[in-house]
Amino acid sequence: MNYFPIMLDIDFKKVVIVGGGHVARQKLEALLPTKAQIIIISPTITDEIAGYLEQGKAVWREKYFEPSDLDNASLVFAVTEQETVNDAVEQATQHWQLLSRADAKGRVDFINPAVVRRGDLTFAVSTSGAHPGLTRKLKGDLAAQYDDTYIDYIDYLKKARREIILKVHDKHRKREAIAALLDPQVELWAREKKWEQCDAYVQKILTGVQPL
């Protein structure tokens, strides 16, 4: 199956999770870094979900699913353990709403990758449903390989690239300058928070001096 991977902006959009178990918690946690308006429909929730509710991260409607629960939702997660309930959620999902079914049955508009975030750097892993356990393992491998120092590195690259775009107008020079930011030495400096060296490097690039 060739799924099409995209990065969706779901800030301020309504997202409905039907079910309040372990899988609902996983989906909720994946949504937390966004500013989506998250609504959980379920007669029960786990303690972890209750903790997120206390922090105002989502809203809980303590009830069994009804079709009107999906009104105005952009994304819908059918994550109950009851296939018939997940079927009912599918029936009620309009063609313009995107549906994810944790039981991978019936209509599946999207499946969920495992995600590793390092600031603006995002890794999303999927086996297209072939083996979610491998997906989880690869997520762990990536998390170990790309540690938290990459948060600083990507932040530096973003700012330095913006500065070059603002100040260098010649197309060819601009492309070369942006590419020069990827020098492995600069990566090390940024990950070690050696900002003086990093800034000096950008200034050299901007003044057209051979940077290293």
Ligand X SMILES: C[C@@]1(CC(=O)O)C2=NC(=C\c3[nH]c(c(CCC(=O)O)c3CC(=O)O)Cc3[nH]c(c(CC(=O)O)c3CCC(=O)O)/C=C3\N/C(=C\2)[C@@H](CCC(=O)O)[C@]3(C)CC(=O)O)/[C@H]1CCC(=O)O
Ligand Y SMILES: NC(=O)c1ccc[n+]([C@@H]2O[C@H](COP(=O)([O-])OP(=O)(O)OC[C@H]3O[C@@H](n4cnc5c(N)ncnc54)[C@H](O)[C@@H]3O)[C@@H](O)[C@H]2O)c1
Residues that bind ligand X (CB under 6 A): 26-27, 30, 100, 102-104, 111-114, 126-129, 131-133, 135-136, 139
Residues near ligand Y (CB under 6 A), total = 21
Q: Which is nearer to ligand X, 131 or 158 (CB)?
A: 131
Q: Which among ligand X, ligand Y, none contacts residue 136 (Cβ within 5 to 8 A by kind)?
A: ligand X
**Ramachandran region, residue 195 (left: φ > 0; alpha: ψ -120 to 50; beta: rest):** alpha
Find which of ligand X, ligand Y, none residue 74 binds, CB within 5 to 8 Å per kind: none
Of 10, 23, 98, 121, the one binding ligand Y (CB under 6 A) is: 23
44 binds ligand Y (CB under 6 A): yes
Which residue stretch of 73-81, 119-127, 148-156, 188-196 sits at the interface with ligand Y (rule: CB under 6 A)? 73-81
State the binding partner of 139 from ligand X, ligand Y, none, CB within 5 to 8 A by kind: ligand X
- Rounded Cα distance, 52 and 43, in Å: 17
Nearest distance in Å: CB 5, ligand X? 10
User: What is the sign of the dihedral through the CA atoms of 173, 175, 176 and 177?
Assistant: positive
- Look at the alpha carbons of 62, 64, 66, 72 in this order and tell me if their dihedral is positive or negative: positive
Residue 81 touches which member of ligand Y, ligand X, none, C-beta under 5-8 Å by kind: ligand Y
The distance of closest approach from Cβ of residue 72 to ligand Y in the complex, given in angstroms and rounded to an integer, is: 18
One residue of 65, 77, 153, 201 binding ligand Y per CB under 6 A: 65
Task: State the minimum distance, in angstroms, from the CB of residue 196 to ligand X.
Answer: 37
Helix runs in the chain, H state only: 22-31, 47-54, 83-92, 132-145, 149-167, 171-180, 184-191, 195-206
3-class secondary structure, 199: helix
Q: Which does 126 bind (CB under 5 to 8 A by kind): ligand Y, ligand X, none?
A: ligand X
Q: ∠ CA 66-67-72 to the nearest 5 degrees? A: 120
Cβ atoms within 10 A of the Cβ of 41, count? 24
Does residue 91 interact with ligand Y by CB under 6 A?
A: no
Q: What is the largest CA-CA distance in the chain?
A: 67
